[in-house]
């Protein structure tokens, strides 16, 4: 009985999802990064340049790494970006760019595969 409870407790503990917050709005982007064999990639880097303010003169570069489940989140993105935001996802010499138009879809979810597959 104790063994079953111990296993259930371990299964319930999931790693915390790394989050970076721009504090510019209520939009967000959730990422799951996997390799070509569908295995989660730990430590993949997700970078985005956010332009904001009058005519987009101000800019902020955000970066977050994935956890052991390949997950990461970017919060506080502006609701009305002048252009779609381009997220660069990279790990071990491999990279991919994904775009998010927060005006069209405020809460975005991305499944990114790096490598063949």
Model confidence at 4, in pLDDT bands (50, 70, 90)?
Answer: very low
Cα dist from 83 to 10, 21, 79, whole Å: 43, 19, 11
Tell me the mean pLDDT in the region 27-56: 92
Rounded Cα distance between 43 and 71, Å, is: 9
Asked whether the predicted pLDDT for residue 7 surpasses 80, the reply is no
| CATH number for region 16-114 | 2.60.40.1120
Spans of all domains in the chain: 16-114
Sole residue written with tokens 């790494």: 65
User: Model-level pTM?
Assistant: 0.85
Model confidence at 77, in pLDDT bands (50, 70, 90)?
Answer: very high
């Amino acid at each position: 009985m104790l063994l079953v409870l111990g296993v259930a407790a371990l299964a319930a503990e999931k790693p915390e999802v790394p989050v970076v917050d721009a504090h510019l709005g209520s939009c967000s982007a959730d990422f799951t990064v996997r390799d070509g064999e569908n295995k989660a990639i730990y430590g993949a880097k997700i970078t985005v340049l956010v332009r904001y303010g009058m005519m987009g003169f101000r800019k902020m570069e955000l970066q977050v790494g994935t956890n052991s489940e390949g997950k990461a989140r970017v919060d506080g993105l502006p609701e009305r970006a002048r252009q779609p935001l381009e997220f660069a996802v990279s790990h071990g010499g491999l990279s991919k760019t994904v775009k998010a138009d927060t005006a069209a879809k405020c809460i975005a979810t991305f499944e990114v595969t790096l490598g063949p597959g």
